A = this chain, B = another copy of it.
Amino acid sequence: MVQFVHPATKDITLAGVLSALADPARLQMVKAMIGQHDCMSCAAAAPCTMAKSTVSNHFRILREAGVVQTTKRGVEHRNVVREADIDARFPGLLKLILTHAEAG
């Protein structure tokens, strides 16, 4: 059974997206997720050094900023970056930030 964890996502705001991506850990998570199309949050996206609760908190922040959408699939939560939605709201922004994140 598939269900959205937070179906009613708030508006995507510039400050929200920027502060969500301003954290290196979250930027790295988003970078990891954008490659795949679906991914488990804990195992796949976050660095292993981080506590589970911290990872969960980062995902909450990303969700609340409208950067990712989480669907619950059985025991695991799958997070997808809302590329299309972000791009509709702020054209080019996400791609540009991720491009610069690549470069280091």
Contacts and interface: CB of A to CB of B under 8 A. Distances in A.
Contact of A14 (B13, B14, B19, B104): B104
A100 interface: yes
A15 B96 CA distance: 13
Summarize A's interface: helix, strand, loop or mixed.
Answer: helix
Interface stretch (A22-30, A33-41, A73-81): A22-30
Contact of A104 (B13, B92, B101, B104): B13
Interface in A27-83: 27
B15 A22 contact: yes
A5 interface: no
A90 interface: yes
